[in-house]
Amino acid sequence: MLTHKQQSFLATLWLNDQPINTLDTLIGKAAWVNRLGGAGVLPQLASTVRNDSHMLSCQAGISKKPMLFYFRQTPAGYRLYVREPGDHFGKGVWVHDHSHLGVVSTDQNDPSAFALRSSEGQIVSLSDLAGDEHQITLTHNGLSVSKGRRSNSPYEYLKTRGDLSTVWTLKVLERSVPWLSSPYEI
């Protein structure tokens, strides 16, 4: 039986030749969103500014640099951690209550668990994936990860939906990868 380390790997994700990365990287600046609403009679008084820089996207921007993810195999599925050097290094991918994906400190939340699905809809792991490039569907709690919008925002985000039609390109860069804190893990 393979160990969790043997089923874990480093990879990037792409959709139609657009890489997944954080909004701040893709657009080259902080992703501030002025959000209005919720004050009843005078909604303009309830303005809040939200920083969506840490949210994940695959929209076209000034950068086509993919984020490097550590796919850690667990009994619940794969948990994704950022292995790209920079401000988000070591953070985990988390599905927020509003169903959008972002990267957060693992001190705050455990990363969400995701399943990799083949074109036939079967859950697969690294041992099922021969070669380095694969077409997969990424799901969380049975919902597919795809592109979506947030209210009052000009940006595209990644979010979970019931539609399983979004096919991602998974590019595996390294296999059998240990935790950073346990480099000699078996």
pLDDT in tens, 10-41: 999 999 999 999 999 999 999 999 876 444 54
Reading the block at residue 7, the tokens are 């089923």
Domains present along the chain, CATH in parentheses: 9-175 (2.80.10.50)
Closest CA to 23 of 49, 50, 57: 57
46-68 per-position pLDDT tens digit: 557 889 999 999 999 888 899 99
Q: How far is CA 132 from CA 34, 71, 109, 150, 169, in A?
A: 41, 14, 30, 33, 10
Classified as helix, coil or strand, 153 is coil
With a cut of 70, list the residues of the chain below it in pLDDT.
36-47
Reading the block at residue 131, the tokens are 């070669």
Q: Does the model's pTM come out above 0.95?
A: no
Asked if 19 and 56 count as a contact pair (C-beta separation under 8 A), the reply is no
